[in-house]
Structure 1
Amino acid sequence: MLRTQSQKAWDSGALLRELLEPSGVYPRRRPLKRPTAATLRSDYAAARAWAAELFAAVGHFSLETAEVGRSTVGANLLPAAAVFDSAQDEIAFVGKAKDAVRLRGLAAGLSALDPAFRRWALKRPLQLLELGGDALTAARVSLWLRGNAHPGVYVRQLSLPGVHTKFIEHHRKVIDELAAELRAGVPFSEDGEADAVVSEVAAEPGSLLGQAPARTPAARFAARHGFLHPPELARFRALDPGMPLLGGARDLTVTAEAFSTLNLPVQRAIVTENLVNFLALPEVPNTLAIYGGGYGFSSLRDAGWLRHCEVWYWGDLDTHGFRILDQLRAVHPHVVSVLMDQATLLAHRDAWGSEPAQSKAALGRLTAAESALYEALGSDQFGKAVRLEQELIRWDWALEGLLGGRRPTT
């Protein structure tokens, strides 16, 4: 149907781009799939209603006609194509004329702030409509950032009209894109890093190789533009009641920087991704429990003292669990996985879930057994996207695996 074709052009942003910057495709001819002679014979009334609807809509477009059925049911002139004289006419046909007027005003407002913003309006016309005045405010933020490189304050301290922490939180990507246009259009990737300068490794979420990117979008935004950001925290528990920490405290949270400077008399550190597992681990001599945070182990990356003790990693039994393990070994090659073996997986079939999006990365730091299990999970040998979350492992099994000698060896 003609309306479907025009609606698709609107939904893709093509009509609005033509409105802002005509490409010369108008007048535009949109061919119509007209009834055949056989259709005229079998359902003349439906064909006639179809044609009548198009003839009645003439005004936003003109119609080209073609003769059909001369040798069978008699000559009939049917619409063959609709011709729109301008993008405005086609926009009006889909009932978006008011939106088009609003878009022009918003695009003009952006261009008045800086001509470079027009490029963004052409790339994101529908988003510009959706944002409305917020797009102009985001543009003002990007202009402020250009004039205030590395401000060295918290986002909360910005004193721009209409700008507050929540606004930045909701519009980080737009601000980054507009800021990129001010830098002569250097594009940004989905996680906000400039495509032109991000290597394949650094683009990986939470890569541990070299300097890992900040863990959260807010932290990445702050780092990108020179804002201060609350430091990453590290939480750990002394499983040995006699281990000296801070008075009688055994469960502490410190900054990642402070964690990296610790010098504790520990023989072993157990890293677990699940909070309840972290809290429930029993007393063990000379042992520390560390609450992990998935990808982006910056607190563990910088803690050189961990190289002088055993480090056990207990993650989810799925492809991303093994990927995190692989990345952790990039800085601590001696890490041993626990409860991430095939025996544990098969003993808990009743607790299997489905991994939403599996990792397909090639992992070069796994043991032979770990690598085989990673490949088996990734190729659905046990079922579609099987995963076993660590908190679903029976506690008696977990304790035996951690403390009873069933740990896999590297």
Structure 2
Amino acid sequence: MITPGEIKKKAISRWNQGKVLRSWLGAELIFPLVLPAGKPTASQLLKDFAQVRSWKSMLESHALCHVGHGYRIEYTEINHRQFGRQRLPKFVIFDSVDDLAKFIGKHGDIKRFANILKLIRQQQPGLCRWVERYPLKTLAQASNWPRLLIILDYFKTHPCYGRYLRELDIPDVDTKFIEQHKGLIKELLDIVLPTDAIDRTVIGLSRFGFERRYGLKYDEPLIRFRFLDAELAKHYGGLDDLSLPLSQFHKLNPNCTHVFITENKINGLSFPAQPQSMVIFGLGYGISMLKQASWFAQKELFYWGDIDTHGFAILSQLRGYFPHTQSLLMDQETLQRFRPLWVSEGPDQRVTTGLTAL
């Protein structure tokens, strides 16, 4: 036999699933919402009819007919051999969104949601389908929607290419707000911006993904490298240890024949002199930053990493970009030669998937 508390839990569950707001939008029909009241057992009717009557009275005291909102009760009639004809609750029914929302104290949220929707329909109607899909996310940002809509309009009407995020002069919006809400703003910009304003090859927000996706400038990571041949360094003022912003490194294409990449910074700093060679170091899994260095395709490319699953994972990743990559000092002979230096790699530290290019 269902209690008012259990009815409330079920109603809150529908709310938390977004079903109530989607129903209010007309995107999902769940009303009237019918919940079984729970038929008393024959034993309960026979042995404790007073408890059954108390349950019925409790349900009725919280029902629409008594408190002016919430659920109504649908009854069924039974013939009790001892107490005669009795009307017992069969279903509790919420007829509308308002009935359920008032019952769980969410009527104010319905009003806020309606105001948000009105604003979105007026300023960015293309977001209405997103609102239908994510009504609770929409509601959670109630106080932020005026700023969100200003941001979306700004990106649509002002070219942002080649500008830093902090340079954008958006009325009534602190650019820190954008930095704090990049994930949400990315979802919305992907809907309202034209296709040619989005670099869809950039996935996620890591490594300035937001800025790269929408053509903004950002504080680029530096690629550090050393020329291992003094003749090469002469072309750069004799400097042999350099760091360049990523986009400049992609355009570098030095006149060398061999490019060594090593995971370990000290390996890079102590790498011996080699003719017509350079060494890049200290990137680790940041190796993905090198994939747009198209000039690598014309060089002999070597990777020197740790002889563990992570080292081979990075080698596999690099070969995914440049299949001609050769490994350096990552073979069985090297492993056996330095057996006294072996350490154990715990099972929870191993990389065992995605090694597709070894």
TM-score band, normalised by the shorter chain? 0.7 to 0.9
Aligned residue for 1:285?
272
Aligned residue for 1:189?
none
Which of the pair is proportionally richer in helix?
A: 2
* Equivalent position SS for 2:9: helix
- 2:284 and 2:314 in contact (8 A); partners too: no
Task: State how far apart, in whole Å, the 2-side matches of 1:316 and 1:128 are.
Answer: 49
* Cα gap change, 1:296 to 1:75, in 2 (>3 Å): farther
Task: State how far apart, in whole Å, the 2-side matches of 1:63 and 1:168 are.
Answer: 49
Which among 305, 309, 322 is matched to residue 314 of structure 1? 305
Aligned residue for 1:82?
92
Which among 146, 153, 169 is matched to residue 143 of structure 1? 153
The amino acid across from 1:233 in the alignment is L
How many percent of aligned residue pairs carry the same amino acid?
25
Larger Rg: 2
* Cα gap change, 1:14 to 1:231, in 2 (>3 Å): same
Which among 11, 20, 32 is matched to residue 16 of structure 2? 11
User: RMSD in angstroms over aligned alpha carbons?
Assistant: 4.2
| TM-fit CA distance, 1:58 | 0.1
- 2:147 and 2:172 in contact (8 A); partners too: yes
Structure 1 unmatched runs, 5+: 187-191, 195-201, 203-212, 367-410
* Cα gap change, 1:243 to 1:88, in 2 (>3 Å): same
Task: State how far apart, in whole Å, the 2-side matches of 1:21 and 1:161 are.
Answer: 35
Structure 2 unmatched runs, 5+: 1-5, 65-69
* Cα gap change, 1:356 to 1:258, in 2 (>3 Å): same
| TM-fit CA distance, 1:87 | 0.4
Deviation string, structure 1 residues 382-406 (Cα, Å, up to 9, x no partner): xxxxxxxxxxxxxxxxxxxxxxxxx
* Equivalent position SS for 1:79: strand
Task: State how far apart, in whole Å, the 1-side matches of 2:286 and 2:9 are.
Answer: 44
* Equivalent position SS for 1:82: strand
* Cα gap change, 1:88 to 1:258, in 2 (>3 Å): same
Task: State how far apart, in whole Å, the 2-side matches of 1:164 and 1:358 are.
Answer: 44
Task: State how far apart, in whole Å, the 2-side matches of 1:337 and 1:131 are.
Answer: 50
Q: TM-score, normalised by structure 2?
A: 0.73
Task: State how far apart, in whole Å, the 2-side matches of 1:71 and 1:139 are.
Answer: 67
Instruction: After TM superposition, list the pairs within 5 Å mapping 1:125-136 onto structure 2.
Output: 125-136=135-146
Task: State how far apart, in whole Å, the 1-side matches of 2:331 and 2:80 are.
Answer: 76
Greater mean deviation of Cα atoms: 44-53 or 10-19:
44-53
* Equivalent position SS for 1:297: helix
* Cα gap change, 1:280 to 1:311, in 2 (>3 Å): closer
| TM-fit CA distance, 1:289 | 4.6
| TM-fit CA distance, 1:221 | 2.8
Aligned residue for 1:94?
104
Matched, 1:159 2:169: yes
Task: State how far apart, in whole Å, the 2-side matches of 1:293 and 1:265 are.
Answer: 23
Task: State how far apart, in whole Å, the 2-side matches of 1:138 and 1:144 are.
Answer: 10
